[in-house]
Structure 1
Amino acid sequence: MPAPVLDPTVRHLYVHVPFCPTICPYCDFHVLTRRAGLVERYLERVEEEAARLADEYPVDLDTVYIGGGTPSFLRDAEITALVGSVRRHLGWGRAENTLEINPGTVSPARAALWRDLGFGRASVGVQSLDDATLKFLGRQHDARQAREAVATLVETGFRVSGDLITAVPGQPLESDIRGLVELGVGHVSAYTLTIEPGTEFARRGVTVEEDDERRGFEETEARLTDLGFSRYEISNYARPGQESRHNLAYWEGRTYLGLGPGAAGHYPATPGGEVLTLRRTNPHLHDWLTGEGGEAEAITPEEYVTDALFMGLRLRAGLDLADLSRRSGVDMRTRYATPLAANVERGLLMLEGDRLRATPGGWWVLNRVVTDFLEA
């Protein structure tokens, strides 16, 4: 097996801000409401962790993504301090810098500050432009605030991505999609409402019907395609040139730093060993504040391959088997000849030269497709 060839330099950074004004009933991320002194301690620890990451890894950033939580819930001085810590130790993204934004936190003055800090892309948690749907989802903003927030960000010069949740009972999905596009967004992330264990929705017994899920999946693509967007990933649509460069790094199996409580990172390992990369997930806030390092998972070349298949097949463009073989050191065509042939025969995958793609039917059962590779 040839030696794997991975870029040793980390070019992407995710920063997790765990604070939210309220906790949505469908949310299972590591989030909590702010309390006196907690944000200050968080910012001090970010500074320490950013310095450590800079010492441990060669870093030359293409993208920075600050997510949560609700990063835009930070006060002006707090977000300024957070960005300062990142820039001081790790630099800033040359290609793209994204801030996740709650519509209820936007004003012209704050939008101008975020631009001045170096953010060029805004990912806005719109979820719906229908008040009844927003109320069901437990959102604190209403449709008017969402429209005004997106319009303000567009006017301030951001590339704006709007999040939508689909498969919500009674949701006017076509109106949501058309309204969001008319506001000037260049990117839409459309996620099916998912009921995760431990969430408020799970405790209430809320369910999502598979027919509603499939209908939302299909209608979103049809409507956005008609409006000039392309589905470049299972849940993501963009006008030409508006794709999320940071998220593409995840889907393409690149390494990235994770900074903050609950943040996950995918790090290069020491060349020459049996471990190709490391995945490390930071502990939740209170343990992270004490300096606890979280858990690291060693990723072998074959584990790297199955991860890359699961992520890469989410993309409409799929992945390049020759490139994956080069990066992992695993000869994809030889090692996985049986599941490749079987899933092409079933109509779940397409193989054109070295380019492997999932068909629309394969997207719907992607877990099953990748399981075939795991079992091989």
Structure 2
Amino acid sequence: MSLPAPSPALDPVVRHLYVHVPFCPTICPYCDFHVLTRRAGLVERYLEQIEVEAAGLAAAYTVELDTVYLGGGTPSFLRDEELAALVGSVRRHLGWGRVENTLEVNPGTVSGARAAHWRTLGFDRASVGVQSLDDATLKFLGRQHDAAQARDAVTTLIGEGFRVSGDLITAVPGQPLLSDIQGLVDLGVGHVSAYTLTIEPGTEFARRGVTVQEDDERRGFEDTEAALGALGFTRYEVSNYARPGQESRHNLAYWQGRTYLGLGPGAAGHYPADGGWQMADGEQQRAPNVLTVRRTNPHLHEWLTGAAGEAEAIDATEFVTDALFMGLRLRAGVDLADLSRRSGLDVAEVYAAPIAQNVARGLLTLDGDRLRATPDGWWVLNRVVTDFLEI
């Protein structure tokens, strides 16, 4: 199968920015993200390198931001002046989101004065790591806040005018999941992200031998949808639920296969191929038929030296399989005609066999150009996408 030249239908303008803040007050026993506790001088050096990297991204790409997302780590753990300096670097070089600007928030860092400060910096959406509203569950998860602090944090943020999303972890032994869901909705959130407790290698939970049963995963998966659906929330992505108009615009960009910048240690980005990119040895690289480039920054100490990290050229085939893997997570699914236009491949024709196989298995549906995963397909999405990789 011959590959086309890069598609002119791909947007050359980058409209989304992810900023990674790796600092946390403590490390949760289930966490496998690039996080660390703060040390003397580290935050200052981090902010200096953010300024340098933001300037470099601005020079390499055409940027007109719709969304900005500060994740971590615990971005709200930064002191007020530190967060202001970080936002200043972003605004100075890359601008600010015209549609949505999200700050990830730990409940224990919230006060009325701090929430008001975050609003003045330009944040209008807060993603709050509630995880549970049950103190015993929070203690098991190693969280430093209690249920009362979580409730107060959400109430305070809503009072300051934030659109608030609450994170929940499901399939935790002994967790009163339905009570957690009802309590979070009663607080007034417009969005809920519900993630199954996953035991990753190298985490404290893995070292302790903590396990999650598949039956508990499936029950949490189904009970969460039923409960939130009855409360007026739509499951618009495998793990995300929203009231109408409250979807995460930033995360939709990931699931829809759009390009985005990654700023900070460990941050991943999906870049237009014509913006220039470097391999770890510093040499400029391009390959024929490259549509986009995925790059992952190194972890903090190497990143502070200006190291380039890892880069991967994405051709049309990889672009399509990535877009299918991400897009099938959405209730809306994937528009195959649009994906063909953006990739230059006739997706419906090239992947006719795996589409037909998975439709027959009841894992996908095809309505015109719209390919969607069924609820059973969502549960085994990795297996479904493997069929597309084998073409």
Question: Same fold judged by TM-score > 0.5?
Answer: yes
3-state SS in 2 of match to 1:78: helix
TM-score, structure 1 normalization: 0.99
Q: Partners in 2 of 1:310 and 1:53 — Cα distance?
A: 27
Residues 1:75 and 2:74 aligned together: no
3-state SS in 2 of match to 1:10: strand
Identical aligned residues as a percent = 82
Matches of residues 26-175 of structure 1 in structure 2 within 5 Å?
26-175=30-179
Contiguous gaps of at least 5 residues in structure 2: 276-286
**Equivalent position of 1:224 in the other structure:** 228
Query: What is the letter of the counterpart of residue 228 of structure 2?
Result: L
Q: Kindly provide the CA deviation profile for residues 172-228 of structure 1, in whole angstroms up to 9, marking residues without a partner as x.
A: 001100000000100000000000000000000000000000000000000000100
3-state SS in 2 of match to 1:161: strand
Q: Kindly provide the CA deviation profile for residues 38-90 of structure 1, in whole angstroms up to 9, marking residues without a partner as x.
A: 00000000000000000000000000000000000000000000000000000
Residues 1:318 and 2:333 aligned together: yes
**Equivalent position of 2:290 in the other structure:** 275
Matches of residues 242-253 of structure 1 in structure 2 within 5 Å?
242-253=246-257
Which of residues 262, 267, 270 is equivalent to 2:266?
262
Q: Kindly provide the CA deviation profile for residues 142-176 of structure 1, in whole angstroms up to 9, marking residues without a partner as x.
A: 00000000000000000000000000000000110
**Equivalent position of 1:238 in the other structure:** 242
**Equivalent position of 1:364 in the other structure:** 379
Which shifted more, 154-163 or 339-348?
339-348
Q: Partners in 2 of 1:345 and 1:226 — Cα distance?
A: 30
Query: What is the letter of the counterpart of residue 370 of structure 1?
Result: V
Residues 1:293 and 2:308 aligned together: yes
**Equivalent position of 2:283 in the other structure:** none
Q: Kindly provide the CA deviation profile for residues 252-289 of structure 1, in whole angstroms up to 9, marking residues without a partner as x.
A: 00000000000000001039941111000000000000
Query: What is the letter of the counterpart of residue 209 of structure 2?
Result: G
Q: CA RMSD in A?
A: 1.0
**Which stretches of structure 1, 4 residues or longer, exceed 2 Å deviation after superposition?**
270-273
- How far residue 345 of structure 1 moved from its aligned partner, in angstroms, is 1.1
Q: CA contact under 8 A between 2:16 and 2:65: conserved in structure 1?
A: yes
Q: CA contact under 8 A between 2:4 and 2:316: conserved in structure 1?
A: no
Q: Partners in 1 of 2:324 and 2:175 — Cα distance?
A: 33
Query: What is the letter of the counterpart of residue 238 of structure 2?
Result: I
Q: Partners in 1 of 2:362 and 2:149 — Cα distance?
A: 45
3-state SS in 1 of match to 2:259: coil
Query: What is the letter of the counterpart of residue 180 of structure 2?
Result: D
- How far residue 137 of structure 1 moved from its aligned partner, in angstroms, is 0.1
**Equivalent position of 1:353 in the other structure:** 368
Q: CA contact under 8 A between 2:54 and 2:263: conserved in structure 1?
A: yes
**Equivalent position of 1:207 in the other structure:** 211
Q: CA contact under 8 A between 2:4 and 2:289: conserved in structure 1?
A: no
Q: Partners in 2 of 1:212 and 1:369 — Cα distance?
A: 22
Q: Partners in 2 of 1:241 and 1:323 — Cα distance?
A: 23
- How far residue 2 of structure 1 moved from its aligned partner, in angstroms, is 5.7
Q: Partners in 1 of 2:71 and 2:361 — Cα distance?
A: 39
Q: Kindly provide the CA deviation profile for residues 87-123 of structure 1, in whole angstroms up to 9, marking residues without a partner as x.
A: 0000000000000000000000000000010000000
**Equivalent position of 1:10 in the other structure:** 14
TM-score, structure 2 normalization: 0.95
- How far residue 346 of structure 1 moved from its aligned partner, in angstroms, is 1.0
Which of residues 353, 360, 371 is equivalent to 1:338?
353
- How far residue 334 of structure 1 moved from its aligned partner, in angstroms, is 1.3
**Equivalent position of 2:28 in the other structure:** 24
3-state SS in 1 of match to 2:206: helix
Counting matched residue pairs gives: 376
Q: CA contact under 8 A between 2:262 and 2:268: conserved in structure 1?
A: yes
Which shifted more, 78-87 or 273-282?
273-282
